[in-house]
């Protein structure tokens, strides 16, 4: 059976408190008790307008006993040949709980606020050393602080010291209450220059700045990317804008690309998404690298 490492293996609904999602998708800045409701369709609600089909197919949110959904997720992973899932998008305590319970199946990436200064650095070190957290994630989409902001630098230095990677949200966003280019790949350039030892994965592959992403992947040895939040069938669609990505991903960048299946977004089985990857015009040895080997090397699993 094929082996896969999924760079965006979302936890099932019900594993984390709904308050977490509400908090990260709130209005930018510090909310106040008497704030007004945002206009309909504004902010993150705009995703439901842009991606109507996704909203209809997305896995429903429901109450569940913590841990029960993880067992079902692991069973689905086993059926699809997914050896390891990279987890984010949940609170740090939830991510730590799942990582400690299933250390061979999940790698959890904690989100730390750069506004917390050295307190965040100390807490991140504790999470790694005591709570089985395997790295950090940086999501400017939520806190509106780009990855190149110097307030992140003490955290990057700690990642290097602990020899753990960082995954950076690298894509255009459709939350129309904040700048669209918070996740532009250009922010990775400063980080990679200043921290050449830091292992960085650009989540979401830099869309729509695909050519920039390709150039930066060629430029920095420790910079990789994943394909999360994109249907793989579109990578080979003429005129989609992914031409450079697929061409170089099959040749010069074949060791730099990892897959993020994002099943929770698309609401389809793992097998269907993997079938779309296997239909891409990639060489057999390159397909194995995309699906497993590159991530195994990046996360030091081999």
What per-residue confidence (pLDDT) applies to 23? 77
pLDDT for 236 beyond 90: yes
Please, which residues bridge with residue 169 across strands? 203
Say how many residues make up the chain: 302
Q: What is the pLDDT of residue 16?
A: 86
Residue from 167, 72, 141, 152 nearest 113 by CA: 152
Q: What are phi and psi of 108, to 5 degrees?
A: -100, 135
Helices 210-219 and 186-194: angle between axes, nearest 10 degrees: 10
pLDDT at 63 over 60: no
Question: For residue 275, what are its two tokens?
Answer: 């079938």
Query: Domain residue spans in the chain?
Result: 4-30+39-298
Instruction: Please state, in angstroms and rounded to a whole number, the distance separating the CA atoms of residues 213 and 230.
Output: 15
Mean pLDDT of the chain: 93
CA distance 26 to 44: 8
Tens of pLDDT, residues 131-180: 999 999 999 999 999 999 999 999 999 999 999 999 999 999 999 999 99
- How far apart CA 166 and CA 169 sit, in angstroms, is 10
pLDDT band at 34 (very low <50, low <70, confident <90, very high): low
CA distance 51 to 81: 28
Q: How confident is the model at residue 38 (pLDDT cuts 50, 70, 90)?
A: confident
Structure tokens at 95: 């991510």
| Cα gap 139→59, rounded to integer Å | 22
3-state secondary structure of 224: strand
Secondary structure element (H or E) that encloses residue 80, with its range: helix 68-80
46-60, 135-149, 196-210: which range is least confident on average?
46-60
Fold of 4-30+39-298: TIM Barrel (3.20.20)
Spatial strand order in the sheet of 135-138:
4-6, 82-87, 106-111, 135-138, 166-169, 200-203, 223-226, 257-258
Cβ atoms 173, 272 nearer than 8 A: no
How far apart (Å, rounded) are the C-alpha atoms in residues 212 and 150? Answer: 22
**CA 24, CA 5: separation in Å to the nearest integer?**
26
Residue 26 pLDDT? 74
Provide DSSP, 141-152.
HHH---TT-GGG
What is the predicted pLDDT for the residue at 58? 65
């Amino acid at each position: 059976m094929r082996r896969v490492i999924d760079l965006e293996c979302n936890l099932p609904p019900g594993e984390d408190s709904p308050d977490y999602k509400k908090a990260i998708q709130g209005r930018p800045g510090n909310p106040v008790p008497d704030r007004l409701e945002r206009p309909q369709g504004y902010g993150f609600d705009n995703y439901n307008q842009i991606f109507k089909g996704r909203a209809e197919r997305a896995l429903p949110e429901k109450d569940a006993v913590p841990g029960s959904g993880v067992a079902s997720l692991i069973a689905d992973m086993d059926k699809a040949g997914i050896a390891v899932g990279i987890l984010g998008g949940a609170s740090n305590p939830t991510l730590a709980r799942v990582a400690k319970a299933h250390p061979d199946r999940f790698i959890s990436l904690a989100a730390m606020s750069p506004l917390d200064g050295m307190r965040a650095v100390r807490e991140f070190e504790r999470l790694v050393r005591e709570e089985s957290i395997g790295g950090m994630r940086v999501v400017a989409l939520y806190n509106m602080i780009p990855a190149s902001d110097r307030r992140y630098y003490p955290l990057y230095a700690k990642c290097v010291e602990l020899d753990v990677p960082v995954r950076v949200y690298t894509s255009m966003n459709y939350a129309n209450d904040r700048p669209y280019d918070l996740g532009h790949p250009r922010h990775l350039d400063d980080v990679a220059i200043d921290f050449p030892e830091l292992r960085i994965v650009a989540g979401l592959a830099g869309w729509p700045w695909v050519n920039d992403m390709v150039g930066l992947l060629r430029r920095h040895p420790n910079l990789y990317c994943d394909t999360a939040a994109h249907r793989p069938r579109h990578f080979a669609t003429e005129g989609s804008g992914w031409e450079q990505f697929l061409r170089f991903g099959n040749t010069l960048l074949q060791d730099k690309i990892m897959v993020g299946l994002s099943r929770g977004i698309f609401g389809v089985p793992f097998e269907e998404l993997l079938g779309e990857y296997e239909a891409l015009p990639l060489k057999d040895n390159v397909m194995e690298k995309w699906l497993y080997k590159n991530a195994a090397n990046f996360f030091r699993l081999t």
